[in-house]
Amino acid sequence: MNSTSTTASRQRGFDLKAFAANNGALIGLIVLAVVMAIASPAFLSGQNIVNVGEQVATIAILAFGMTFVIVAAGIDLSVGSVAALSAMASASMVAGWGLPEVLTIVAGLVVGALAGAVTGIAAAYGKLPAFIASLAMMSVARGLTMVISDGRPVEAPSQVAALGGDLGPVPVPIVVLVLAGLVAAFVLRFTVAGSYMYAVGGNIEAARLSGIPVKRVVVLVFLLSGVFAALAGMVTAGRLDSVQPTIGTGAELDAIAAVVIGGASLSGGVGRISGTLVGALVLAVIRNGLNLMNVSPFWQQVVIGAVIALAVLFDVIRHKNTRL
């Protein structure tokens, strides 16, 4: 009896440790929410919760695309610029080329897919490190955005503007966030392509020897990253009711941070869309809570930087322990 109790107790203790290890970001989010609610009663107001949801939509959608790349042991520094280029190109096609507005969102997604595919081809077939390939695309995409717009804001087409509206009592950005998350989770968890991404990120040489088309997987993850970046760019333009050429500036860092905070490994082979969403919420809650407490934006950057550093440090320690 005592032996059975001891064994059960150990099992319960092991389960708790496993839960804490696998859901550290979720636990951190709950603690953060409690702290922010105590520090500012306005944090839990209905309007503020909606604000957090809208604020997290763009970064989470970007981060969903980034999750594919990081799971496959890559990095995509171009997502912020691709978001801007896709939104600007779709608006310009309507205003300057006479593209039917019903095709606006499709056009933006195609531009994002093409930009991502180019980055993927450069990395997979051109043998460029993902860091360099995506850094080059970041510059090219931002430059093309400025060329197309002449550095000026462009009015958002009606289809794009609708992405910033409401669907009954629910803001459309939150609806898009949920749908994008479901699609991303399905692709990563329930498709052959998703299993290939984990295999390539876990051990690229073993994946190649087992017959997995590694180069095509690399192109695919960057293409998907471009599509999600394009969607995020158009959601942002919808919220602003205009396409700003500066959309997404610096957003790639938030996207990477959300993925890592959510439990993905920069070494590849590990990551979940649900974790990425939690990571994005952590960043949004920190920013929102600090705004409510009237903390200077400069200090907010310091806090966010510290959170990112801690998340990466935790990932490094976890990776070392796994190898041991």
Q: What is the pLDDT along the chain (324 residues), one digit of tens a residue?
A: 454 544 444 444 456 666 666 667 788 888 888 988 888 888 888 888 988 998 899 999 999 999 999 999 999 999 999 999 999 999 888 877 777 878 899 999 999 999 999 999 999 999 999 999 999 999 999 999 999 988 899 888 888 999 998 888 899 999 999 999 999 999 999 999 999 999 999 999 999 999 999 999 999 999 999 999 999 999 999 998 899 999 999 899 899 999 998 988 888 999 999 999 999 999 999 988 888 888 888 888 888 888 878 877 776 776 666 555
| Model pLDDT, residue 297 | 84
List all residues 6 or more positions away from 45 whose beta carbon is below 8 Å from its beta carbon.
Answer: none
| Model pLDDT, residue 76 | 96
Quickly tell me which residue has 């990120």 as its tokens.
Answer: 201
The amino acid sitting at 14 is F
Q: Do 269 and 247 meet the contact criterion of CB atoms below 8 Å apart?
A: no
Query: What's phi and psi for 249, nearest 5 deg?
Result: -60, 120
Model-level pTM? 0.89
First to last CA, the chain: 36
Q: Do 212 and 95 meet the contact criterion of CB atoms below 8 Å apart?
A: no
Tell me how far apart the alpha carbons of residues 236 and 71 are, in angstroms, rounded to a whole number. 26
Q: Do 283 and 304 meet the contact criterion of CB atoms below 8 Å apart?
A: yes
Strands 242-243 and 154-155 come out as antiparallel
Answer positive or negative: Cα dihedral of 20, 26, 28, 30. negative
CA triplet 260, 265, 268: central angle to 5 degrees? 130
Quickly tell me which residue has 């938030």 as its tokens.
Answer: 254
Q: Do 84 and 251 meet the contact criterion of CB atoms below 8 Å apart?
A: no
CB burial class (10 A; 0-12, 13-18, 19+) of residue 10?
A: exposed
Contacts of residues 141-144 at CB distance under 8 Å and 24 or more positions apart, as own/partner, are 141/78, 141/81, 141/82, 141/84, 141/85, 141/115, 142/81, 142/84, 142/85, 144/85, 144/89
| Model pLDDT, residue 148 | 92
Q: Do 273 and 185 meet the contact criterion of CB atoms below 8 Å apart?
A: yes
Tell me how far apart the alpha carbons of residues 285 and 56 are, in angstroms, rounded to a whole number. 9
SS3 229: helix
Closest CA to 226 of 301, 312, 140, 303: 140
